[in-house]
Structure 1
Amino acid sequence: MMIRTKRWTGAAAAVACLAGVVVLGMGNANQAPQLRLHGGSAWLASSKTGQLTLLDGASAEVAARVQVAPPGAPIRSAQLESTGYALNQWDGSVVRVDGATLKPSTSSWSADKIFPTPHALYALDSSRGLLTPTDLVTMTPLGAPHSLATKADQAVVDGGGRLWILDQHTGELVWFSQDSQGSRTNAGTHLTVTDGRPAVLDVARRKAELLDPETGTVVESVRADVRADDAAVVSGWSRGILISTRGLLMACEFTVSCRNPVALGSGKADLGAAVEVAGHAIVPDYSAGRAWVVNLETMRVVADRKLFDRPVRFELLARDGLVFYNDPDSDEAGVFDLNGNGRAVSKYNPVNPGSGINQVAVDGPGPGRQSPPPRPESGSPNAPVRGPGANELALVGAPMADIVFKPGNRGLVGDEFELGVVARSSIGLATAEWSFGDGTSATGLVARHSWKRPGEYQVSVATMLTVGLPAPVATATVVIEPADAPPRIAGFRVDPEAPRAGEPVLFGAEVTGRAPDRWEWTVQGQPVSSEPEFRHTFAAPGTYTVALAVTAGAVRVQESKQVVVAPAPPRVKCGDVLTASAVLTGDLVCPQNVAFRIAADNVTFDLGSHTVTTASPSNSSVGIQVAGAKNATIKNGSVTGFTTGIAMTDVNGVAIQKIRSKSFGHDSAGDIVGTRATNVKVTDSTTSGPTAFVFRDRSNVTFSKATFEQSAVSLCSDHSTCAVTGSSTVRIDRLVCARNEEDTDSGSSITIRDSALDIAELGHACDDVKLTTNQSTGGDITATNNLELVGNVMGDRQDDLVLDSPAVRTPGRLVIQDNMFSGFGVGLRIGEGTGTISGNVFSGNVDAGIWLDPSPGQLTFAGNTFTANGSLKRHGVPAEYRGGLIDPELGRQSVTLSDNHAVNNRGYGFRVATGVQDGGGNTSSGDLHACVGVSCAP
């Protein structure tokens, strides 16, 4: 099976370069990006398409494009010999692209800086200060990480493959090799490599020094005419160092002197690190999008080349007398020589940058590779999408993104808001087009806007997914008040809402209109705080008046609220039987088999943010047991270490709120267990034991805003109903209605809505299974009577080396409607079942969009879209098994197809048995092969 593509999420890094390799993630580019390649070719980053582009220097043509990240992800390239490395600045993932095979492979770790050397790839996690050497090919750790006490502001690799790291603020210099490491204090402020040896510049001492690669001691030096406040950029050359500063280039030769500087452009030019080629320095001028060529013997400008028509911080690389330049954030790149002669290159089609995003698009033989077979014209990954409705293809049903307002969704006329759109699944967003509800618009995943008139505006954003399809429009409302609107106290916040004597209470308020200049809180008329929020502890029960006055300019407004404070509950101890409400006042380690029992109606047990645990659990130990009670509440704390966390028997109306439960041992009964437990509500709680929950014998439970942390199994059996909703997170290996495979007919049902799912096996022995508008990693989903998937977004789990293929089967009714399946081996395998598969999108799956297993049941496929499936050839997967909708055995004839669309699949559009019912309206456009068993219009 193929190695997974890593999930792409947000992270930050910057670019710096080493002599001999490109290094990613440095805080500022004070080193010349000297890229030594074999064959005169360079791997260049293309963030808009998420690709590494191999540019051949001799022909100035694109030799290959390899997908390494979702389109729009900010990536930077690194290279060692012919192998390329891509660092995703969003999530810190690294992709290695083999120069001979073009095969990409991902790291199992993440980093914000990487340093390829001839001996190892060093991965730096700056947040933890850890530098880990990893294998250059497998990218697995070679040993324990090094702990860095310094910041990695600058780094270089010398001619012997040693990694040198400089903390620019402290001057601390450390270096690493295969079998040793060293350090030196107060080394300098800038670091580079000169003729394979490390060199430093100390701006304060105005001195550049060449270092011994073995010991770090100074062997040669030269005085440099730099000022302490210079924003100097330093690189190395064969005789010394090159310094770009104040619009000047200085060349300083060790043991001799610095030559007369040469002025480049205007005095305010933003110069970058120079690159040396054959006795010449090529200096980037970011402010003018230009590169200057300076003869280092005469210190004269011999050529200059306009590279961009705008200011841009481009990359500059050198190899074999040629200079490569690249803008990672656009399609623009190119090659030129020391005379300024060269050629501009477009790395991808700027009009259709997302084309071929799931392909390794090879446009030429490239170094060390054989020419690929020619691509069919209609199957080209760069071919435009054609066919009926191709431009209107979109996922419906599932929410794909949320709009986030900063500082909030309420403000005044003229206030500037920052609006961002955030993906709600592992399928990222590539582009966004905003409509602000006032007749204006903008583009970009982040936008800024202010409204000129008061009112309530509906903001909408139309996004394009990284798989190349438009997502449903996301909307949100912003309230704009007049600029001179007086402050208004819209409401109070009291937490907890029903406070007790002796416990702290947090007070706050929602204030609209002008921002207050002053806050005045009082309790019973006595001043208590001048902050927007404050905490207060009531010593005795009673009714208290809490008042707030806010002042903005000459306007002062005041509101008050009556707060009823209940008496402090009695203290409890291990083994207590609770017949009245109680609060835990400290952590408890209970030796009893049952720590607490609730044995009366209307009891609230508040754990007070404390933990109940046991040091020696028995096979039947229980943290909190509720038996024969109604309307009990357990809240605010942790129950850990017991065989059963919370056990309920013959109860009705139990509420479990803000509880963290972790049962003990692999044979644990469960974190939350209910037998004949009805109307149970579990809210904002977390389970992390081997068995998350067990509900049996006609129980019913609803989980909302719950988190299930990687449990092995959960059970809903014997005519029970279990529902999960409200943005819950479900990581459970088996969520079923019978523990054993041979058990059936439980009569139970599982419903999950609006949640994030990672479930390997769902629904065994369940009568009904319904998944609605979830974000899911797939898995095997079964039901004995009714199985429904509506409006879900399903993407590969991507946490191991195997590409998953979700599968569904039921001997009863099957409904698969308005879902999206992307990034799997097969988007969806369909086994036994009778029903309708309609309005779904199957995109970017490695082998096929749908795979029909040879099982009984009448299936109708209507209005589905299959795009860019069958993208890679995998060992053991024949060509006839790749494409959109595939019946590998051509044996399932009880199928009807109508109004389905196949677009740019690297295999068949549809390959089904000749006996299927052709309902008409099916199309195939840009597929490698057309259709078998059904007629398809172009």
Structure 2
Amino acid sequence: MRRWAGPAALVALLVAGVAALVAGSAQGVAARSVSLDDVSAWLLSPAVGEAELVDGNSGAVVTRVELGVGALTGTQSGTGEFVADSATGKLRRIDGATYRVSAPATFGKPGEALGVYPAGETVFAVDQPTGLVSLLDPRTLAVRQTYSLAAKVAAGGIVTQGADVLWAVGATTGDLERVDGSGTTIVRHAVDPARTTLVTAAGLPVAVDLTARQVVRLGSRGVTGAGTCVDVAATDSSVQVVGSADRPAVYAVSGSRGVLLVSDLATGRCGDAVNLGVAGHRLGQPREAAGRVFVPDYTSGQVLVVDVTAGRVIADPTVMPPSTAFELRDEGAVVFYNDPATAKAGVISLDGAIRPIEKYSPATVGTAPGGPASLAGKLPSDAAGGSQPPTGGTSPPSGVQPTAVPTRPAATRPQRPTAPLTTIPPVGAGPAVASNDGRTAPTTSTTTEAPATGGGAPTVRIAVSAPQARVGTALTMQAVLVAADGTVTAGKLAQVSWSFGDGGSATGSQVTHAWTASGVYTVSADVRLTDGTSAAPVTSVTVVAPNVPPVTTPPVTNPPVTVPPVTTPPTTKPAVSPLKAVLSANKGSCTQDSANVTVDASGSAGGSGPLTYAFDFGDGTTAGPASAATVEHGYSQTGPFTVTVTITDATGASAKATATATLLHLAASATSVTVGQSVTLTGTGVCAGASLDLNIGAQYAGGTSTSGNIGHNVHEPNPYTSTWGTGTTTVSAHWSESDPYSDSNRLTITVTDPAPPPPLQVTASSTSITLGQSVTLTATGGVHGSDGTYSWYGANPSGLGTSLCGTTASCTTTPDTTGTWKYSVQVYDNAGNRAESNQLAVTVSP
């Protein structure tokens, strides 16, 4: 439960059951009126560059703060909000009492993922790609200290503890690192880096390792106590995890199974489960409040409210259109839902009742002293001193109680009038068609429009390459989104289904179609946008007969003339060319959640009359017969697939052609080499680009890597050349998390060492010294030659480990306490081999 107060002292006057108002700030900005049981949350709207403060009791938007459009993420701390912009690498703070925005502080390069993690009296700013951690003053954002983690940080691999502690998981090493004001502590290779999430349970940090299927507690020296089981499959990539705020428990939700699983850290049990009834759905990050777990269902647009004690779903309100990715935020006993891409948001109570909220009017954009939000995607320049609060107001007269500041009115932005589109890229101009009045019809596009449902200003239109067509002549049609400012795009269309008015149909944002008879046809499109909204625009196309003569101007009367008879030669029927089918399937588009291949048979020719096309996509699905020669098809596997088209002409004659559709295939220059030799990996297919996402040394159902490495993902150029360590390593390429890592893009690289180096050993200048003396450690063996990179470690008599020295084969250190110290070293050579020594004991006497 949060209580709101300005910088001045809060005066609570409970007279006749009426709560007093909160005092204004010292700067004279009037504070808002709140009740003593106030619970509020900051919700971000990156598309319009705003942060909105929403009151959880009334559902009212208290204020809006202009930030500028960017890659915004926010974290609430008390009544304020820290906002990171990964597009610029900057961090700002919104004061919860005055709504002032601080001057921006830079902590990363533009385009790098920047995370902010408040922890009491310290704020941690983490540049995730580099692993740099800055400890900040929570009020001024001044840097107190900066540390470097041993590796970059994975998503979900950070959690804070208490007032000044941060835990992180190395994205490639699986190391657990603890950061506080005194420095860093590293626990080597503690968890699976690819599938470990850090959360808090009853206020204490825990690591949820889905590969090991266990939850472990984290203490000052790393993992403490026995682990608790997690009842999930090691291969289930749909699992999301959240910890309980009040009890030692962790909740895991599986979208593929449609269940919520409970791991009780107090008893060590993990057998309790709740059937959510949504198997196969895409579920988002759950939240927990007052013993209820709230699960966002992206597939249905619902929030599943789970009573964990009763073991059942007590409510499933619909809060968003289907297929919308939205977020949940919990503040006290109130949960807020928010679509960062639109104005939709709201509040959910513990019993599942919802209160929808419109964060801003889609047709208006507010103006504030901090600068207007730019819908064109331009970022406002950074003010040296930060922006002013978005709500106006002056200091009240002396002795007068300040009143609530209402939500500032938004200024209406002028709207452009809707006009027909003349050109819609990439639809090309079609051929000129003779009209019935003898003139040549222009090839400009004609459109109709339909508003996208959901309250937005943009409209969806159909662009046609020509207003008329002859029988058998194909037209090109495209569905496009036209914003309120006239901007045209096809990139936000998720799915388009067409009906051409003659029984033909097709899918894809851009299609071609030919009609077999003259007439006026109604063309309609069923369009679903990426934000979950939908539209159904229509247009009409006039089709004329192929032999309609142009109507000419009446002839001029001249004196009579004698016209000699004309002999008409006999008519010969033109020869029919052979029917030939041509097919290609080597283009398309790949996103995080889908892969579409463009199947193109437009090169087919011959036969009599118009052609129809029937497609077999090779994955058990078909389309047609229809008049569209080009279709888009989505695949859920990497392939390869054999695609077949059957074309049929007006006489019933047919022909077939096949093509291979491959989403992604990984090839190696060699799969068996000796140590030191390099191997080049090359990805090909529709989803292959300038870079490769590789999973190295991962575990699969068919077997386990023998390289001894924990599986991890890397992002490398395509092609990628590297040397490999001795042993056998499994490598796969993928374009998204939904890629199933099938055999078609997985291979095994075997590296042999005909003359392995001697084992890595550590010797000491002395194994028995007195306190204050130094000891020199020397490493021998383990690598070929002297090109190794060494990492030294020392464990004090209490067992607490720390990193030592530099990267050479020699290390001199001075123990700071008596007892038995244990030293070890790891070494990597240029061929990718790794060796690790046994521990060497050194006794330190008083």
Same fold (TM over 0.5): no
Larger relative CO (CA 8 A, sep 6+): 1 or 2? 2
Hey, which of these two has a bigger chunk of strand by percent?
Answer: 1
